[in-house]
Amino acid sequence: MAKVMIVTGGARGIGAAIVRSAAGAGYTVAINYGRSKERAEALVRDIAGKGGSAIAVQGDIAKEADIERLFAETAARLGPVDVLVNNAGVAVTTAVADCKAADYETIFGVNVRGLILCSRAAVRAMSTRRGGKGGVIVNISSISPVYGGLPHDVLYAASKGAVDAFTLGLSKEVAGEGIRVCAVRPGLTETEMLDADFGPGQAAEAAKLSVPIGRIGQPHEIASAVLFLASEAAAYITGSFINVSGGREINVKTSAG
């Protein structure tokens, strides 16, 4: 029987790449989306056309009730979740001096609160102490907490720093319950969110100068790390982080670029 994976924010960007890779590896995937209904449904059709299996489940990861519905619907339609990928994330570009409370609430509502509540639902379903069969949680963090983020991106970096701390703490808390918890830290990766932050094509140009490998990353490269951590090949790995950044954190500067 195929394993079940939930990918939050799975309709586009890194999330969609994870969904495609997971389906190709034999997972049945629940694609969570917020507003990208057409993209999510198109992805379901594309996966089905290639012999895979996926469903699309709408849900705002900032809302507790939506999270509970996501897990309940997935369990009812596909079976118990084996892997949760906490991929959903948002960014608001602002200097700290100019930020509004709403900016903080938006970023931390999805990136931290939503991720924690999704993890809570996954632990309740997976824990061998609660009748589950174990499982894996993979959090999509960012390389930005390693250097504090770029100017006007500090709130995002702070939210991902919280994700790192939560990943480490939760991994210890549930290690005896058959659950592994790890994180992937992407660097500059070619996505719509990054284009909105930097401007179309600008991040790719910045990567040529600021990334030791000399280029921007691709979503499928993040997906490869996620699928490894979710697999039996990583069965002895928990509380660990994989930086998929081209080495950006080695020489990043706090100026733009």
Torsion angle, alpha carbons of 113, 115, 117, 122, to 10: -170
- Helix axes 115-126 and 64-77, enclosed angle (nearest 10): 40
What is the C-alpha to C-alpha distance for residues 210 and 247, in angstroms, rounded to an integer?
9
Cβ 46 vs Cβ 98: under 8 Å: no
C-alpha angle 116/121/123, rounded to 5°? 90
Give the distance from CA 42 to its chain's centroid. Answer: 20
Catalytic residue check, 156: yes
- 98 CB neighbour count, 10 Å cutoff: 8
Strand order in 28-33's β-sheet? Answer: 53-58, 28-33, 4-7, 83-86, 135-140, 179-186, 241-244
The partner residues of 86 in beta bridges, in order of sequence, read: 139
- Catalytic site residue from 27, 104, 156, 236: 156
Q: Which residues are catalytic?
A: 156
